[in-house]
Structures are given as C-alpha cells and as structure tokens.
Chain A
Amino acid sequence: MTKTFLAGALLSASIFGLAAPAFADTELKVYISSQHQPQVWRKVMDQYEAANPGTKVTIETGGNTSEAQAQYLNTIMSAKDSSLDVLILDVIRPAQFAAAGWTSPFEGKDMSVYLPAYAEANTVDGKVVALPAFADSMFLYYRKDLLEKYGVEPPKTWDELKAAVKKINGGENNQDLQGLSFQGKAIEGAVCTFLLPYWSQGKNLTDNGKLTFDKQAAVNSLKLWKSFVDEGVSKKNIAEVATDDTRKEFQAGNVVFAVNWSYAWAQSQSKDSAVAGKVGVARLPAMTGGEQATCLGGWEWGVSAYSKNQDGAKKLVEYLSSKDASKFMAVNGSLLPTHSELYKDADVLKAAPWFADAKQVVETAKPRPVTPRYNEVSETIRTTVNAVLAGVTTPEDGAAQIEARLKRILR
C-alpha cells in the first residue's frame, strides 16, 4: 500500500515536475479524547514538531467518555474517512479496530520495552496493531485521616472494608459521609465493577477468546455490590454514579473509600480539593479467601488505516509512545508510565510519589476480555450490573442473563 503510494507520488512528481522538498511538508491530525489532557499532549507534539522540521501536528478533541469516543471513531472509520492520521484508543479497543482493519500494523516492532500487559493488549493475532500511550488501573482511594483516627488499616478484603466503614460511620455519625463510592451507572467502568470481585475468586471470563464463565463467582460478585447498597455502606442511588461522580464525591470529602482510576489522584491533591494531603492509595481489596485483583486500564495510539501519510503517522506514534514522551506525561499530566524503568525515575516520583508502588499494581492488573465484539460484552455486563444495583434484577437472574448473552457473543 505504502509502496504503491510512493510510486504514485514519484510518478506524479515527475509528470508535474514538482521539486522534492514539497514532500517534506507533512501534516498530521491526531485524535485525543477531551478527558485525556490534550493541552499537555500538545506540548509533546510541539517537541516532535521542533525535532522534525516540516512536520505539522494538529489535535482534534472530542468524546469525554470511552463510549462517546468509540461511537465517534466508529462513525469516522466505518466511513473510511482519511482526515484522522493518529487515534487514541481505550485499551479494550485494539482487537475491534484490528478486526475491522481500521489500524495499520507496526511490522517488526519490539514490544519488550513496554510493560508486558501493554505489549499483550496491543498485539492481536501476532501483529502489533497499536502502541501504548499511558498505563492505568483501578485503585482503592481512602481517607488517610479518618482511618488513622479510628485506628483502621487499609482493608485487604471487601469484608474488612465493610467493617471499617461501620466503625468509622458509627464514630463520625455524619449522614452525608458515604462508606464506599464505586461505579454503578451503565458505563464502561461498571464492567470493571463486576469483574473486580469476579477475578478475585480466581476465575477468568475468557480464555483465548472462549467463554469460561463461572456463574457462582458472578452471583457472588453481584451480591457483594448489592450488599454494599443494602447495608448502607454505599448510597442508595449508586446506580446513577459514573466514574467522575465518584471522583467528585471523594474530593468533596463525602466518601471514606472510593474505587477509581489513577487520574483521580492529581485532582484530589489540587487546591480546591477538600481532602488534599488526606488521601491514601492502596490496592483494591479481595473477596475473603481470594486474591487482590484490579482492572487494567490505559490508552493506546493507533495509526488509521485510511491515513494518507502512513510513514509520517507511524513515526509520530513511535515518538508518542517513547520513554521520553511517557516521562513527560507522567511528570506533567500524572499519567502512569508504560515503560518499566520510569517507575523508579526521580523526576517522576517527585511529581507523584505513590507511583513507586503503582507499578506492581499495574503489572498484576487483569485485562478485560480481548475480542472484536467487546462492545457487546461490555453492554451486557454494564446494563446487568446497573439493573442489579437498581434492584430491578436479582444477582442470580443477573448472572444468568450475563451468561446467556455472553454465550451468544463469544461463540
């Protein structure tokens, strides 16, 4: 494809007598969702432009949730639109984009420089379909001050968390103080909500694309979340709570424990935060008798298969996923690095000291099922979690519905 393009370009150049330098002017358009600090990425693009004279990079922003972003890109890509060269993709999407033929593979790319989880997430059928932008996973945020006041250690199991909340709530006697905030709205985050206790029981959802659904583990997971609502640990309208609601409630000082991604850290330490300096970050608790598990997040850079400047776009993506760019984003945007050695880097640790412990968490984080039909898997799980938390469906019926629908999707 590239060869025919080059040949065509050379042919037209010789026909029209264009001078060679005209080709040096490369214009690239990068799509970044507005939730991912495009203003900080802009500085990385500026550095790239400075190092590569003749290249101009513009940023298009849009879609402030993973779903909104996916819908936008689905529309653009199914129309074979060539206006975007480089795309930022949620870690769950490379498989779908590869199956649809929407991203160009990076041939012969050495993925061992990245954390293993991201080398794996970006490799589909032996082909590297995208390169990592930044790492992420879910953590347990807690109020250090309140836990110290009541002599409670960060909980290792969900049952310990319940007991801790009861102890703290009993002492504080504050109606507005919620024990645990998590995502119950039918959004992508609710998929992780379901999977955290499910994985913690040592079960996996898929194995090599085949469904390995454990119904009892699913029932236990849904029951656990419902019990938080029924026992008053989480508030009754948890089915309305999205990721950023959790962040806001915690930041306003109304929550003892919160399940959230790493991005919540920077804002919880900002000037307008009620909890600055009072926040601890720990691994997520386990089911009693199970192992601690968390959900792998992070975003990737893909090159659009319809980009008219494949080589230029790939070169830019190589830079955006390089160690330098990763370090810059860790220091300036508090995004977790995808390069292992950066977790020990002095500059990075100065900006976000807890990154020192985060590497182990990211390394043990589990990926959501890798399948081209992920959107259907996600829809099935998140609407069921939402229905169970709203009290519309029982955990048993919910697990049965998930099983029946996943069986049809992951045949």
Chain B
Amino acid sequence: MTTSTLTKTDRTDRQPPAWTKMLDLSDRALAVLLLAPAAILLSLIIVYPVMRLIYTSFFSLSLTSGLPAEFVGIENYQLMIEDPVFWETTWNTVLITLITVPGALFVGLGLALLANIPFRRQWPVRLSLLIPWALPLSFAGLIFAWFFHSEYGVVNDVLSRFGIEGVIWFNSPNLAFAAICLTIVWKTSSFMALIILAGLQTIPRSLYEAADVDGAGRIRQFFEITLPLLKPAIVVALIFRTITALQTFDIPYMMTGGGPGTSTATLAMYIHQNTVSFLDLGYGSALAVVMFALSMCVTAVYLRIIRTKE
C-alpha cells in the first residue's frame, strides 16, 4: 500500500497518459493478469480436452453406426465392468508398472553410480546412457521385436551358443510379457539414471571424506549418505516413470501387437483400438477416463509422499 501511494505522488508531476490509470492495479489483480495467459493456455490444451473426454464418455457415439450421439449415462462404464478385455488389459498395465518401474529404478541407480565414477573420459559413458533415452519408443520396440524373433533374433542365437535351445518368445504369453518388460526396463532405466546422476552430483564430496575419517565403510556410506540425499531425485524420477508406465503403448504395440491373443495388450492399446480402429468414441472415452483417473491417483500418492518428506 505504501509503495503505491509513493508512486502516485511521483506520477502527479509527470502527468501520465490516461490509459496507465487502468493498469494501476492492485497486487492481486496484477497476479491474476500475469497468470491469465498460462491459465487460459492450460485450460485450452488440458482442461478442455479432459472435460470433453469425460462428457463424451456418457454418450453412445460410434462413427460406424451412422447414428448421432446419444446420451446413455453410465452405460459405457457398465459395459466396461462386464468387458473381460478391459480387465485383462488393465491388469497387464498394472503388472507392467509394478515390474518395470522398480526394475528401471534399480538398473538406473546402478547405471548412475557407474557413470558417477570419475572415469578419465566421461563422454562415452554419458553418451551410452543417453542413447536408449533418446531413441523413439516405437523404434526401441521394433529393434527388440527383431532381437526376440524366434528365427532371426540375436537373443535365441546367443542362447544357442551356450547350448540352450531357443524359445518362441511371442508364442507364449509369459515369455512375450517378459520380453516386453525387459525392453521397457532397457529403454527407461537411462532416464532414471540421468535424473539420479544429476542428484548424485549435488552431494558434496566433503560428506564422504568426513565419513571416511569416521571410519564408515563404502556400503554404510551408500545407505547413510548417498541414498537419503538422492531421495528427492528418485521420487521425481518415479513419478514420471510410473505415469509413463501406466500409459505404456508403443513398445508392446510394436513388439507383439498385444499377442498372442490379447495376452500382452495394455489399457492404452485397448483405448487406441476402440477409438482409432473401431471408431467407438463413447466407449473409448470411458476407457480413457479410467486411465486418467489411475494416473491422477498415482500422482496424488507421490505428491503426498513428497509433501510429508518436506
């Protein structure tokens, strides 16, 4: 308040143009004005589509029927509960998340610790960390589909060199699932490693030196210094990784297309199939709402964890 009275007395001498009066806003109004562009942009590209999605999920809207959209209430959600493929794909998605998120965390942590060792040349290590992360998901899926191919794949070739008979990876739901999870861990652990590596480099060396003086061993140092100080970085990495894991699409789509049968299809693939292939926008929207809710729940849980830690 005092500042604004000061500026007012200053201005009276110079006779400012009339329009500046209109801009003489209170702090609150200024804050609203400055935030407005971002808020409008976010509403347009995030809030509006999400609302529209929820709205559509209450309609029977299929482009193959030739009929106009009809309000059906929660019928799409009832169909979903009775739909075995919905439960199968949701379970597959949850399973992929439960396996690949911790998997990528452990591998990523190992890679980050390895990359943090003071090598004479840092760049080959950093580069090899970056490559899987920079590779588009669908390319990774295609490459690994060839790796695991029963006849031409390198995996079976290596196995046979050790005297183990190769298997037809994509003929068995369990093996196909394992192949997909391995690929996802390979693809995503470098992202984990990059974030953790950044966290590692913020830990002061002096802490380790002090621990050395106090006679703490390497393992003790890791659990007492490294891990606690890495926690914020790990939580951030976990949030991003879990949400992308719930949305897993590209890698199973390229590797198995959901096969054999529908045993490796994910919820995102089922949404894509219902909307893009079957053109059943109502049902597809209802499925997408469920995935949105799942992602929101996970985010809420993680945010809670961060807040309590602070």
Query: Which A residues are closer than 8 A to B by beta carbons?
Result: 67, 70-71, 74-75, 78, 96, 99-101, 185-186, 236-237, 239-240, 372-373, 375-376, 379, 383-384, 386-387, 389-393
Which residue in chain B gives the minimum CB-CB distance to A385?
B261
* Cα–Cα distance between A379 and B278 once the two chains are bound (Å): 9
Knowing A372-B64, A373-B64, the reply to whether A237 touches B261 (Cβ < 8 A) is: no
Knowing A74-B279, A99-B65, A237-B151, the reply to whether A391 touches B261 (Cβ < 8 A) is: no
Please tell me if the beta carbons of B170 and A383 are within 8 angstroms of each other in the complex.
no
Please tell me if the beta carbons of A383 and B168 are within 8 angstroms of each other in the complex.
no
Chain A residues closer than 8 Å to B277, beta-carbon distance: 67, 70-71, 74, 375, 379
Q: Chain B at the A interface: mostly helix, strand, loop or mixed?
A: loop
Q: Mark B245-281, 1 if CB is under 8 A from A, else 0.
A: 0000000000001111111000000000100111100
Between-chain CB contacts (< 8 Å), 6 pairs: A236-B171, A239-B170, A240-B149, A240-B170, A373-B278, A386-B260
Please tell me if the beta carbons of A239 and B278 are within 8 angstroms of each other in the complex.
no
* Cα–Cα distance between A372 and B171 once the two chains are bound (Å): 31
Chain A residues closer than 8 Å to B273, beta-carbon distance: 379
Chain B residues closer than 8 Å to A237, beta-carbon distance: 150-151, 168, 170-171
Q: Chain A at the B interface: mostly helix, strand, loop or mixed?
A: helix
Chain B residues closer than 8 Å to A78, beta-carbon distance: 63, 279
Please tell me if the beta carbons of B171 and A390 are within 8 angstroms of each other in the complex.
yes
Q: Give min CB distance, A238 to chain B, whole Å.
A: 9
Q: Give min CB distance, A247 to chain B, whole Å.
A: 16
Please tell me if the beta carbons of A391 and B259 are within 8 angstroms of each other in the complex.
no
Chain B residues closer than 8 Å to A239, beta-carbon distance: 168, 170-171, 259-260
Please tell me if the beta carbons of B65 and A390 are within 8 angstroms of each other in the complex.
no
B199 at the interface (CB under 8 A from A): no
Knowing A70-B277, A71-B277, A373-B278, the reply to whether A100 touches B260 (Cβ < 8 A) is: no
Q: Mark B61-88, 1 if CB is under 8 A from A, else 0.
A: 0011110000000000000000000000
Please tell me if the beta carbons of A392 and B173 are within 8 angstroms of each other in the complex.
yes
Which residue in chain B gives the minimum CB-CB distance to A372?
B64
State the total of A-B contacts with C-beta under 8 angstroms: 87
Q: CB < 8 Å: which of B63, B66, B262, B278 contacts A383?
A: B262
Chain B residues closer than 8 Å to A101, beta-carbon distance: 66
* Cα–Cα distance between A96 and B63 once the two chains are bound (Å): 9
Which residue in chain A gives the minimum CB-CB distance to B62?
A373
Query: Which B residues are closer than 8 A to A by beta carbons?
Result: 63-66, 149-151, 168, 170-173, 257-263, 273, 276-279
Please tell me if the beta carbons of A383 and B171 are within 8 angstroms of each other in the complex.
no
Please tell me if the beta carbons of B259 and A386 are within 8 angstroms of each other in the complex.
yes
Q: Give min CB distance, A103 to chain B, whole Å.
A: 13
Q: Give min CB distance, A407 to chain B, whole Å.
A: 14
Please tell me if the beta carbons of A390 and B261 are within 8 angstroms of each other in the complex.
yes
Query: Which 4 A/B pairs are nearest by Cβ-Cβ distance?
Result: A387-B261, A390-B260, A372-B64, A99-B66
* Cα–Cα distance between A101 and B63 once the two chains are bound (Å): 9
* Cα–Cα distance between A392 and B64 once the two chains are bound (Å): 31
Please tell me if the beta carbons of B170 and A100 are within 8 angstroms of each other in the complex.
no
* Cα–Cα distance between A390 and B261 once the two chains are bound (Å): 8
* Cα–Cα distance between A236 and B167 once the two chains are bound (Å): 10
Chain A residues closer than 8 Å to B173, beta-carbon distance: 392
* Cα–Cα distance between A310 and B182 once the two chains are bound (Å): 51
Q: Give min CB distance, A241 to chain B, whole Å.
A: 10
Knowing A71-B277, A383-B258, the reply to whether A391 touches B171 (Cβ < 8 A) is: yes
Please tell me if the beta carbons of A383 and B261 are within 8 angstroms of each other in the complex.
yes
Q: Give min CB distance, A345 to chain B, whole Å.
A: 39
* Cα–Cα distance between A186 and B265 once the two chains are bound (Å): 12
Which residue in chain B gives the minimum CB-CB distance to A74?
B276
Q: Give min CB distance, B139 to chain A, whole Å.
A: 16
Q: Give min CB distance, B212 to chain A, whole Å.
A: 56
Which residue in chain A gives the minimum CB-CB distance to B260?
A390
Q: Give min CB distance, A185 to chain B, whole Å.
A: 8
Q: CB < 8 Å: which of A100, A240, A373 contacts B171?
A: A240
Chain B residues closer than 8 Å to A392, beta-carbon distance: 172-173, 260-261, 263
Which residue in chain B gives the minimum CB-CB distance to A384?
B261
Given contacts A99-B66, A375-B64, A379-B277, 20 further A-B contacts (CB under 8 A): A74-B276, A75-B276, A78-B279, A96-B64, A99-B65, A186-B257, A186-B259, A236-B168, A239-B168, A240-B168, A375-B279, A379-B273, A379-B278, A383-B258, A386-B259, A387-B262, A390-B259, A390-B260, A390-B261, A393-B261
